[in-house]
Amino acid sequence: GAVVSQHPSWVICKSGTSVKIECRSLDFQATTMFWYRQFPKQSLMLMATSNEGSKATYEQGVEKDKFLINHASLTLSTLTVTSAHPEDSSFYICSARDRVDYGYTFGSGTRLTVV
């Protein structure tokens, strides 16, 4: 079946540094990538939607200059958390939409801890 590879699975970084999270669709073309954030014991909150080759659309309240999203190809999207702070610590999950059947495939998530 469809697989989305998300890396890293966990990362610890210092306050003020930037962290890049990658999501790759391994055996299908993802025209759209959704980026979610999940706080402990809570649901997934959509941060932004990115379409290949165009700028991402951010949900209300999400800082686009802080959470940089790039979707340069049909198989790769990246989320960069810039100047990370402890409140950015969370579980980030990507979800790729298949170009053909519009199915959603989720990455395994990235646990970000900012110290």
Residue 89 has a CB neighbour count (10 Å cut-off) of 17
Q: Provide the terminal-to-terminal Cα distance of the chain, rounded to the nearest Å.
A: 37
- Options 25, 75, 77, 95; binder of another protein; rule CB under 8 A: 95
State the Cα–Cα distance between residues 52 and 54, nearest whole angstrom.
6
Smaller CB distance to another protein: residue 15 or 39?
Answer: 39
12-51 footprint of another protein as x/- string (CB under 8 A)? --------------------x-x------xxxx-x--x--
Smallest separation, CB 17 to another protein (Å): 23
Pick from 19, 31, 113: nearest CA to 77: 31
**Cα 81 to Cα 17, 45, 68, distances in angstroms:** 8, 16, 7
Binders of another protein: how many residues, by CB under 8 A?
Answer: 20
Residues at the site binding another protein, with contacts judged by CB under 8 A: 6, 32, 34, 41-44, 46, 49, 93, 95, 97, 102-104, 106-109, 111
